[in-house]
Amino acid sequence: DLCRGPHVANTKEINQQAFKLMKIAGAYWHGDSTQPMLTRVYAACFEKPNDLKDYLKMLEEADKRDHRKLGIQMDLFHIEDEDPGQVFWHPNGWTMYLTLQDYMRDKIRKDGYLEVNTPAVMPRSLWEKSGHWGHYQKNMFVTESEKRIFAIKPMNCPGALEIFNTRTRSYKD
């Protein structure tokens, strides 16, 4: 929780004109469906009603620019319900993606950076060596093959560390 509280000694101190209940949802304790269902309450509270009004307007404007909605409306991509978070690029969206990628690659080359590429699936031992296993294992897609555990990379740094460690470096590297 980014706003751990309480922030007021008594809820009677809250200006009801500057408070809005946003939504209520259910959530399992620690995301585990075998645990009890909890009620999650989303609310916004400000000192002044105008601050709440400004915040709600900002949310409304942000919603109009939501890339998930715009991408579908503009026929750039879609996301399957069965595969949340994975983008299925349509022709114009993929063209835009590649154009942005080319632009960024040109920028980083001009700034002296070099690109590398590492495997999408790496053994558990590499994740442990980099220190990522203990922090991210619960959120990684893991599979087993020939009695070895592998994980799809959620980030690039462990592979980049392996490349870096292939030779002796100077303090300038």
The runs of H, that is alpha helices, within the chain are: 49-64, 67-73, 91-110, 124-130, 132-136, 157-164
pLDDT in tens, the chain (173 residues): 556 666 778 888 889 999 999 999 998 888 888 999 999 889 999 989 999 999 999 999 999 999 889 999 999 999 998 988 889 999 999 999 999 999 999 999 999 999 999 999 999 999 999 899 999 988 899 999 999 999 998 888 889 989 999 999 988 87
pTM over 0.85: no
- Measured CA to CA, the distance from residue 105 to residue 21 in angstroms comes to 44
How many CA atoms within 13 Å lie on the side-chain side of 122? 24
158 C-beta neighbours (distance < 10 Å), count: 21
Closest C-alpha to 149, from 170, 130, 121: 121
- Report yes or no: 45 and 14 within 8 Å, Cβ to Cβ: yes
Closest C-alpha to 144, from 118, 123, 127: 123
Closest C-alpha to 89, from 70, 76, 74: 76
Using alpha carbons only, what angle is made at residue 5 by residues 4 and 6, rounded to the nearest 5 degrees? 165
